[in-house]
Amino acid sequence: MKKILFILFIGLASFSYSQEEYTRILFILDASNSMNKKWGNESRFITAKRILSNAVDSLKNIPNVEIGLRVYGHQSPVTATYQDCADTKLEVPFGKNNHQAILNKIKTIRAKGTTPIARSLEQAASDFPDRKARNIIILITDGIEACDDEPCVIADKLREKGITISPFVIGLGLDMSYLSHFDCYGNYKSAEDPMAFEAVLKNVVNKALVNTTVQINLNTINGRPLETDVSMLLYASGTKDLKHAYTHTLNKVDLPDTLVLDPSIKYDILVKTLPPVEKRNISLKRNIHNTINIDAPQGILKFEFLQPTKYSFVDVRIMEKGKSKTLNTQKFSEPQNYIVGQYDVEILTLPRRYKTVDVHQSSTNTVSIPAPGILNLSSYKIVTGQIFEIKGKNELEWVCDLDENTTRNKFILQPGNYKIIYRQKELKETTYTKSKEFNIYSNKSLTINL
């Protein structure tokens, strides 16, 4: 049974060039019979023709760029006893302002033959007028080689002629282990739907046009680019002109994903870790692969109670050590990444608990506090007063005020020693003040009649 995938190959001439030199992009379109199968609301072939036509249309009026079109599988239908492995043809050669000719040809093509990928690649090497340009091949197909030739062997021959094959494979429902067959070409990606395919084709065309690629390494404390899954904001340097907003990603081999950026711009990159890290005034080298290293080592903070409790709806205020500004308000039992370092934390229990904690690279620091207990206050008449935690022999730290609108108060308190100072609200003399000391224990309820 024929495997189903989309493959995009991009071949680059292995020499430097000036801005005045040409970029030539040859699109190779699979018109084999399997392309007639449904993909979403339309066939794969209709989808491929539509998306390819959009890509061709987007290349109009771009200086120093020429495009051509080769098609295979469209001239002779497959029969039960015969497959035409020579069915590949340069339909529209390179030339200036030939975009409409390519669009017209795409409209007339019907999918009906087989899949001679290797022979198409081999003949494509002769489609380029000369080597004084960046020569690009983008192949769009839904299948693997159906003839006897070996695309990997052909790819090696093309490299010997100065065209390097570096594929982008977009798999549709493809067993990921099968993708290893394409290692001799280069990279591969998966596409869930036509929208994803369109995005990848656009990205490949952008790479062909700009050829200035970037990977942003978010490095651990040991300088390894393993930090990821965080937002990155790219500004024109020295301004608030936001050029790009990305979620950092590691690819299938756990390396930072490749971006295509405009090398004429200097960038400031703000990485939205906690706290954010920034790198300013970044210059890109044109027409090569750039690596930007940003130190962003992270570890995890988590807060929990020592004992199970139903009163776990507690927030924790996180601050950089020695700074009063709130960095984050974190929920109990929900882990959160932070840049490696020390932090002051205020646990918003009653009473507040304060700690200084450390965040270490790629590890979780779990901060535990005792589960709270319950204080129930009941009075015959409305009382006014306050609850204090007994911190020392003669030191009382305010915890909260009593609610003067009810005769029943309920408080969720951390374990400790407390004192309540109060009087009946209607009694207007200070000498009617009373006080009581009490202890709170984890997961225990205490009722006091005032």
Q: Quote the pLDDT of residue 190.
A: 59
- What tens digit of pLDDT does each residue of 181-231 get? 555 555 565 556 677 778 877 777 877 776 678 999 999 999 999 999 999
What per-residue confidence (pLDDT) applies to 7?
45
Least confident of 137-146, 214-223, 237-246, 426-435: 137-146
pLDDT at 21: 60
As a whole number of angstroms, the distance between CA 292 and CA 216 comes to 5
Taking the CB of residue 3, how many other CB atoms lie within 10 A of it? Answer: 16
How far CA 163 is from CA of 20, 115, 189, 228, 424, in Å, comes to 20, 22, 22, 34, 92
Using one digit for the tens of pLDDT, what is the confidence trace for 5-37? 444 444 443 333 344 467 888 898 989 888 888
Residue with tokens 């090569």: 288
Q: How far apart are CA 246 and CA 265, in angstroms?
A: 17
Query: Is 445 or 134 the better-scoring residue by pLDDT?
Result: 445
Residue 378's alpha-carbon distances to 25, 71, 303, 356, 449, in angstroms, are 83, 87, 33, 37, 5
Place of tokens 């801005």: 19
